[in-house]
Chains A and B, each alone.
Chain A
Amino acid sequence: GQSLEQPSEVTAVEGAIVQINCTYQTSGFYGLSWYQQHDGGAPTFLSYNALDGLEETGRFSSFLSRSDSYGYLLLQELQMKDSASYFCAVQSGGSYIPTFGRGTSLIVHP
């Protein structure tokens, strides 16, 4: 089976940098995705990593280390609107349907 671990909650102040970690256990790994979900809203896709390294998209970056079965989402210049839940999701094992982690609630303080 597949399992993903991510912290349940992270807090930070506006303007800071925060890193949300995700470790996974799976076989036949394809890639790791990140989704953002504001309270009561729909999850929206942020990024996808299939190869080792850092992918940057504006203030958000996502990193993957396949050998360590580990990835993280890096959010820079935090804004209040970044307060949301962030889910990592792994594609693996012959299925391209992602398996989602339980999510990390990011709280940004002024």
Chain B
Amino acid sequence: EVQLLESGGGLVQSGGSLRLSCAVSGFTFSNYAMTWVRQAPGKGLEWVSTLSGSGDVTYYAVSVRGRFTISRDKSKNTLYLQMNSLRAEDTAVYYCAGGRIGGGNFCVDPWGHGTLVTVSS
């Protein structure tokens, strides 16, 4: 069974840092692009970042570029999102997801249950 389990969310002050983790089981990292998607309270989905299946290409939304870093540890089957210089507008539920992205494709599946990040100003 495929499972993605996020952790690391919480309350942080504006300007602070937080690292999200996503423990993956049931599929092989190298076969999938891994993605973070967020959803602010009462708002829609916002794509945040994608790491290619090969692990050597990263993509970031303009809103987080230069502040967030996506990475993975294959030995631990874990995806990370290092978030620095956090702002109030980064407050959201952050979802970890697998999928096929690139070469004209955009298919985000499966999804984790999400972890809430709250940035206080």
Same complex: no
